Structure 1
């Protein structure tokens, strides 16, 4: 069994030491809660991080992680965030209690049960022949472009969200929407559903709020792309490989 330390919605690591340890890193009386992450990994949530421990740079760690390691880190982080954000019942305000044998919290007063939050999002690469549509989000560094993405709204299908987000962000219509693959995205609790879609009409018109620049790019004129570990980069690479 290995252990990973968490506190107030973040993972912690001993400065200069391994992320996963063979023993819990805190004394028993300092443990706030424990949750299973994988068959051989447990998340230990501490009342306070021990001396010498520092918050994990999650993005940097994920950028170097293999798929199995990525999955364990994403799950541990999302559980830590959920525990920190659901200490009290959302209905009556009573302190919630963990449900033994289940990843859930129950209010001892009104018996409301809550599970870890997962926010489904779509992320999509629009293609037109040998070109793909990439956009610069206003939060991105200068020069970096990526695919389009957005949250799925209540009562909406993933496919409908794809068409809506593309129209809202860049003003074009699409067809042949098809699912590719997914990625857990622990910032803080998203599930990214990756799609491809074919351009069907309209002129690119950035919304000016989230997207300030967008255009068509081919394999020989690509802008700066997202990091390799992101699903957005994986969608782009999948398209580029089919152009060879």
Structure 2
């Protein structure tokens, strides 16, 4: 059986239920809180491969079936908090693995993280409090008492690169890790709102300007918050920057050669900023 990074074809499982495990080696996306277990032996970083976690002396529970990648079965689950991990393995933050794991494996690790977080938060019914069960016919949990079905949650969000006279609008949020870190504007879609209306609202609320010529750019799952980011480009239409002081503390227009610190590789924000640099640089 080949390396799971050798092909891009991923086939999701019909259900998250783990049936009888075969004798074939599988890929295990195992988490301790939000940190993923990786195998650092043999001079590279991979997800552990084995028939079962027990075969690697790993105590894992809440096992769930993800599907197959390059004909290799893929599973996720959680590590018992107090148990040590085997020599040559470590639990690390998923964000730090971008560029170290194969892109397809990294993407599936993000899917696994979203699934684990959803699974943790839906073990009891939100309507009646009964313990829920994994469905065998679809990727969901069901309440055996009131039959409420919960599928993995995806929170839609938008992100936009606004351009004015060859400069890009960047803002600094109080949530950013460094005081000189800026990014394009983003926000979550409200109930009953279209993606396009959300972009216009977020830009107006956060910096007080109007935009035009809104164009779809691309999308990206963002497993750390359970979001699906829909990215756009737009042009400034009217108004001057007036930050809200809550979501955005500082904002400005930046040319391609005067950019502050911005998001690194692996995010759709970085892709938008790279598009700007190549288009207007």
Q: Report the TM-score when normalising by structure 1.
A: 0.91
Over the aligned positions, Cα root-mean-square deviation in angstroms equals 2.2
Tell me: CA distance 1:26–1:90, structure 2 relative to 1, closer, same or farther (3 Å).
farther
Task: Report how many aligned residue pairs link the two structures.
Answer: 243
> Contact 1:31 / 1:44 at 8 angstroms: preserved in 2?
no
Find the counterpart in structure 1 of residue 226 from structure 2: 189
Query: How much has 1:20 moved relative to structure 2?
Result: 1.5
The correspondence for 2:47, drawn from 20, 30, 39, is 20
Unaligned runs of 5+ in 1: none
Partner Cα separation in structure 1 for residue 96 and residue 60 of structure 2 = 28
Q: Which residue of structure 1 aligns with residue 266 of structure 2?
A: 229
1:131 matched to which residue of 2? 167
Secondary structure at 1:224 match in 2: coil
Residue of structure 2 equivalent to 1:83:
119
Summarize the alignment of residues 93-172 of structure 1 with structure 2, pairs less than 5 Å apart. 93-140=129-176, 141-172=178-209
Would the alpha carbon gap of residues 216 and 176 (structure 1) be closer, same or farther in structure 2, given more than 3 Å must change?
Answer: same
Please tell me whether the aligned partners of residues 209 and 238 of structure 2 are also in contact (alpha carbons under 8 angstroms).
Answer: yes
Are residues 38 and 164 of structure 1, via their aligned partners in 2, closer, same or farther at CA, if it must alter by over 3 Å? farther
Give unpaired runs (5+ residues) of structure 2.
Answer: 1-25
CA contact (8 A) 2:215 2:233 kept: yes
Aligned-pair CA distance for 1:224: 1.0
Q: Against the structure 1 CA distance between its residues 202 and 30, is the aligned structure 2 distance closer, same or farther, given a 3 Å change threshold?
A: closer
For the residue of structure 1 that corresponds to 2:181, the secondary structure is coil
**Shift of residue 13 of structure 1?**
1.1
Q: Please, which moves more after superposition, 24-33 or 111-120? A: 24-33
